[in-house]
Chains A and B, each alone.
Chain A
Amino acid sequence: MFAQKRLGKELSNIHKSLPPGIAIASTPDFTNWKMDIQVLDSNPLYADQIYRLNFKFSGSYPIEAPEVTFIKEDGRDIPMHPHIYSNGVICLDLLGTNWSPVQNVESVCMSIQSMLTSNTKNERPPGDDTFVRSGYRSPRNINFVYDDNTV
């Protein structure tokens, strides 16, 4: 209802225009969208790579943040980044405490794109192994501590 209406508007919007490096992979319904993002500059870490983002929307979508993770699909890998766990979970305040309904799918994609663009470290977050093994599948239940403002 509320969420679907808003997502419908966003969908028609992104069908008409999207910023460079961002593309729609699949939008089967109003609960789950997949977007392809690409880093456009010559960052050696991500050159010529396309990554797939998975958006999950709850019924109270613009009020509540969507769940956004990277997924391995169609040969897309999970990018190396000190804030991205190897299971695709992204540690980004925008998707947690700093979410605001003014954001939308496009702006989230752009934020993640710029987060990748500005990164120079070829590493995973500390404690990646234990985190991945602990089996969280939904970032909703994780309390991140957003301590690093450099990236």
Chain B
Amino acid sequence: MDIDIPDPTDWLQTPIPGLQALESSLRCQVCKELFTAPKVTSCGHTFCSLCIRRYLSTSSKCPTCMKPDEEPRLRDNILVSELVGSFNTIRKQLLDTLRAKEKEKEEEEEARRRRKAEEEEEEEKERVTSIQPRAEKRRPYDDDDDDDIMEDAEPIYRKGKRPRQDTTIAPRYPQETGPPTRRSTRTSSQRTNSRILSSQTVVILDSDDEFLPEEDEISDNDDFRSNNNHNNNNNNNNNGSRAKRKAISRGVPETPTKNSDMVACPICTRLKDKSKVEAHVNRCLEGKRSPSPTPIKATNGPGTPLKRQPVSFANIPKPQQRAPYTDEEKKELRLPKGNASLTKEADIRKKLREFGIKYDAKGKESKQVLWARLQEWTNMWNANLDSATPKSKETLRRELEAYERHQSTQKPSVVQDKGFERDAWSKGHRSEFEALVAAARKSAAARKKENGVVEAGPKDQQLLDSMAGVQAELNGIDSPEVVEA
């Protein structure tokens, strides 16, 4: 296997083998690929759209847990498709980086081992000839190391250099009391400054609360309100939300400070009594209009108490006749699966013609074949609509043809499979069979002459077996080549 097939086991050779589990859960259990247009079944398992559609059209159960399921119940799994998308974009990079790291580590290990061995060797030497000073001994070792670097490829060079630099520079910094520390103090002072600033702004925001009464007074003034409605609304907006926040924080909703306080609801901007605003806001948030008549409401609908329309079927608006699908919309429609036994062969042909799919015009193909083709097309079409990057109809058509060709040629040549056409086969190879039978008769007769009648049974059996072998061979030769994907 020298072809590189992306596989979860790729991660086993990296420093983080746990990524294998992550990737295998991002792969479809049917096709073992990363999910394309993931669909979730009603039992919560996720598969590629095409995979699960194909499987559900052969048997209506979840491939993982065998619980019954149907195609219309499949739902998009948007989160998973996002996950797969983002994982796929980083996969190669991540793998390369991690592999390089692992390689680096291995090489480092190797270098360390070599160095250790050398050191031991040297110590050994030292022990033997313990006259020479150590400093001179060090040099050849360093040279050796450099030689290694020259021998090996680039990564080693980087790696050989970098750790040494790191070890020299990294510990030096904390000890130094020079520029680095000064810089750090400066930044910290800046930070504290900014913190003070921000806290000041916070204080200002808090002091905003103290302006509350003023705003209340403004809203109290009726004339002012009507004149400067715009401005007022804005103010009251803040006011109302603050009031709400306040009330929530206090947890005491029904403690009005001033009875005549009018506050605008932040949602519908209607003016409300401060004591009632919270309840109103809650209703507004729920999307309901306040059922109790309020001063503003009263002015809106003068003199008419809230009256509900009596519920009767006559009052329910008739559903509008849906406009026929436009061509654009038609392209987005999922195809229905249909029912094999209820669909007539002519209808299948008609549909195939509509979709522009080839079929035998002379009617040589059985209904079963046509139906299978239509089903596969339906699966492909629907799955294509699910995918984020849909293919063109023409591509799909080609894929369908390739798929079918592949299916028919891949049929195993053992004895007889489901679609084996015995008559066509025996007609097509009549001459070969006759020649074989003639040869068998001849040799059987010859043997009979030789041995008498004794062993006729087993011999015949043997001949038949050999014929079956020839037939199987022919089968193998005759089938067209396998279509490569």
Q: Measuring CB to CB, which residues of chain A are less than 8 angstroms from any residue of chain B?
A: 1-6, 8-13, 15-17, 31, 56-60, 62-64, 67, 98, 100-102, 136-138, 140-141
B31–A137 touching, CB < 8 Å = no
Bound-state CA distance A62–B417 (Å) is 18
Task: Decide: A138 and B406 in contact? CB cutoff 8 A.
Answer: no
Q: Are A102 and B9 in contact (CB under 8 A)?
A: no
In angstroms, how far is the closest chain A Cβ from the Cβ of B247? 55
Report the Cα distance A100→B30, complex, angstroms: 9
Q: Which of B50-58, B255-263, B303-311 contacts A (4 or more CB under 8 A)?
A: B50-58
Cβ-closest chain A residue relative to B57: A63
Q: Known contacts A16-B9, A101-B29: does B483 contact A1 (CB below 8 Å)? A: yes
Find out whether the CB atom of B411 lies under 8 angstroms from the CB atom of A58.
yes
B64–A100 touching, CB < 8 Å:
yes
Residues on A with C-beta less than 8 A from B403 are 1-2
CB distance from A85 to the nearest CB of B (A): 16
Q: List 29 A-B contacts (CB under 8 A).
A: A1-B403, A2-B406, A3-B406, A3-B410, A5-B31, A5-B33, A5-B485, A9-B33, A10-B32, A12-B1, A12-B3, A12-B5, A12-B9, A13-B7, A13-B9, A15-B1, A16-B12, A31-B412, A56-B414, A57-B412, A59-B407, A62-B30, A63-B55, A63-B58, A67-B412, A101-B55, A101-B63, A102-B64, A136-B415
Looking at the assembled complex, report how far the CB atom of B347 sits from the nearest CB atom of chain A, in whole angstroms: 25
Q: A60 to chain B: which residues have CB within 8 Å?
A: 407, 410
Q: What's the minimum C-beta distance from A15 to chain B, rounded to whole angstroms?
A: 5
Q: Scoring B residues 372 to 390 as 1 if CB is less than 8 Å from chain A, else 0, what string do you get?
A: 0000000000000000000
In the complex, what residues of A have CB within 8 A of residue B64's CB?
100, 102
Q: Give the complex CA separation of A137 and B417 in angstroms.
A: 11
Residue of B nearest to A64 (CB): B58
Q: How large is the interface on B (under 10, 10 to 19, 20 to 34, 35 or more residues)?
A: 35 or more
CB distance from B102 to the nearest CB of A (A): 16
CB distance from B55 to the nearest CB of A (A): 6
Say how far A3's CB is from chain B's closest CB, in angstroms.
7
Residues of A within 8 A of B415 (CB): 136-138, 141
- At the interface, yes or no: B268 with Cβ under 8 Å from chain A? no
With the chains together, A101 CA to B54 CA distance in Å?
11
Q: Does B198 contact A (CB under 8 A)?
A: no
Q: Which residue of chain A has the shortest Cβ distance to B409 in the bound complex?
A: A59
- Given A5-B31, A6-B31, A101-B30, A58 and B63 contact (CB-CB distance below 8 Å): no
Contact (Cβ within 8 A) A8 B5: yes
Name which of A12, A57, A136 has the most chain B CB atoms within 10 A of its CB.
A12
Complex CA distance for A2 and B482, rounded to whole angstroms: 12
In the bound assembly, the distance between CA atoms of A104 and B483 in angstroms comes to 23
- Min CB distance A53 to B, Å, is 15
Contact of A58 among B1, B3, B410 (CB under 8 A): B410
Minimum CB–CB distance from A2 to chain B (whole Å) comes to 7
CB distance from B191 to the nearest CB of A (A): 51
Q: Does chain A have a CB within 8 A of B135?
A: no
Report B58-84 CB contacts with A as 1/0, cut-off 8 Å: 100001101000000000000000000
For B408, the chain A residues whose CB sits under 8 A away are: 59
Tell me how far the C-beta of A11 lies from the nearest C-beta in chain B, rounded to whole angstroms. 6
Of all chain B residues, which has the CB nearest A29?
B482
Chain A, residue nearest B12 (CB): A16
**Contacts known (A1-B483, A1-B485, A13-B7); A102 close to B29, Cβ less than 8 A:** yes
Q: Say yes or no: A62 contacts B31, CB within 8 Å.
A: yes
Query: Residue of B at shortest CB range from A62?
Result: B30
B58: chain A residues within 8 A (beta carbon): 63-64
In the assembled complex, B340 has its CB within 8 A of some CB on chain A? no
Asked whether any CB of chain A lies closer than 8 Å to the CB of B402, the reply is yes
Query: Could you say which of B32, B64, B411, B485 has the most chain A C-beta atoms within 10 Å of its C-beta?
Result: B32
